[in-house]
Amino acid sequence: MSSHAFADRLRSNAIRRRFRDPELRAVLWLGLLTVVLTVLAAAQVGWLQLVPVAVLTVPLLLGAVLLGPRTLSWFVVFVMVMIVVAASRVTLTDRDAAAIGVHFLLGAIVLFVAMRRTYLGVGGLSDELMLLDLTHRLDQGAIPPMPPGWLADSAVLPAGGTRFAGDFVVAARVEDRLEVVVVDVSGKGERAGTRALQLSGAFGGLLGAVPPAEFLPAANRYLLRQDWQEGFATAVYLSIDLVDGAYEIRSAGHPPALVRRAATGRWEESESAGPVLGLMDDVDFDASAGSLGVGDMVMLYTDGVVEARGIDLEHGISNLVATADHLAVTGRGGGARRLLEGLSASTDDRALVAVGRRR
């Protein structure tokens, strides 16, 4: 193959890749739509007189959804020019002129949003879908499949109905051992969500990679290295043997884990204790050890589950166990979420994990 033929082939492949770009296809279709609507709005013949200049708002708003910030800026200018072209071809009333002024204001707002998206590094629908995927990963905290005879479920409910939460769940199963950590990052909603996203990845890498006794100290050192202004978090960590049911619970400034004994039907608070993560180095995290028998269950949760305005911690825990007794976590998915939704409304993020042995 000659050098000219090779260069032509490279150019051809580059053009094909270019036209496969979804944003390029979107801007071409939107440009065509804008031109067609401009022609219709400018034509004052027959029924076309009913087509207003305001119809050009449609591609403007579609562009705000589909296009990245750089392309969107030029597209807004293009639409504004088309509005001027269409308006110059028709007889405008004072009301029409005012409406066109509103369209220019709308275009300025879209430009402002485009510049803000450029600053944030969020470009168009594809990047927004990426953010949605990241929030799904943060929200799910999926517990790995459990062996026969075991059940587990988890749920995270962000505050205010947002997609971001400062609470998260990370779990890993290493051979016959399950490790779960429930974390509450300082703050709530979007402000804490970005830190929670980073911590969930880091803590997920630690689970199963360090001995159970070393997990919280390692997590604490990681937080200290971040040097965040509001860089503290509380956590409760569970390590459980899926063969004999032996478990260890360690806490870092977190509400106590709860263990339900099938023999008595009573819930017990774990006695593990330790300081909040990210405040000081060289700290110890005491373990609370025990064993889950058939029908027993351990429940981990964040403070948003048990704390609310006018309700102290003890009353909140009492409400939680009462709700848990009436709404058993089935292990088929959804039980933990229904349990959280059955509690009184909270203005804080909420997370809950339940792990137990089937009867």
269 contacts 260 by C-beta, under 8 angstroms = no
Separation CA 229–CA 78 (nearest Å): 44
Longest dimension (CA), the chain: 85
Residue 350, token pair as written in the block: 């909420």
Place of tokens 């071409």: 28
More confident residue, 221 or 92: 221
Q: Residue 308 gets which letter from DSSP? A: B
User: What's the rounded mean pLDDT across residues 121-142?
Assistant: 57
pLDDT in the model for residue 15: 47
Higher pLDDT: 45 or 285? It is: 285
DSSP string, 77-116: HHHHHHHHHHHHTSPPPHHHHHHHHHHHHHHHHHHHHHHH
Query: Which tops the pLDDT comparison, 222 or 107?
Result: 222
End-to-end CA distance of the chain: 72
What does each C-alpha distance from 303 to 98, 185, 236, 253, 357 come to in angstroms? 53, 11, 11, 10, 25
Whether the predicted pLDDT of 161 surpasses 80 = no
Has residue 318 got a pLDDT over 70? yes
Three-state DSSP class for residue 299: strand
User: If you average pLDDT over residues 121-137, what whole number do you get?
Assistant: 58
Tokens of 224: 């200290």
Q: Please check whether residue 268 is in contact with residue 259, taking contact to mean a CB–CB distance below 8 angstroms.
A: yes
Question: What is the structure's pLDDT at 6?
Answer: 46
Per-residue pLDDT tens for 233-290? 999 999 999 999 999 999 999 999 999 998 888 899 998 889 999 988 888 899 999 9
Q: Each residue of 202-211: pLDDT tens digit?
A: 998 999 899 9
Residue range(s) of every CATH 3.60.40.10 domain in the chain: 133-357
* More confident: 99 or 296: 296
Would you state the pLDDT for residue 256? 92
CATH fold for domain 133-357? Phosphatase 2c; domain 1 (3.60.40)
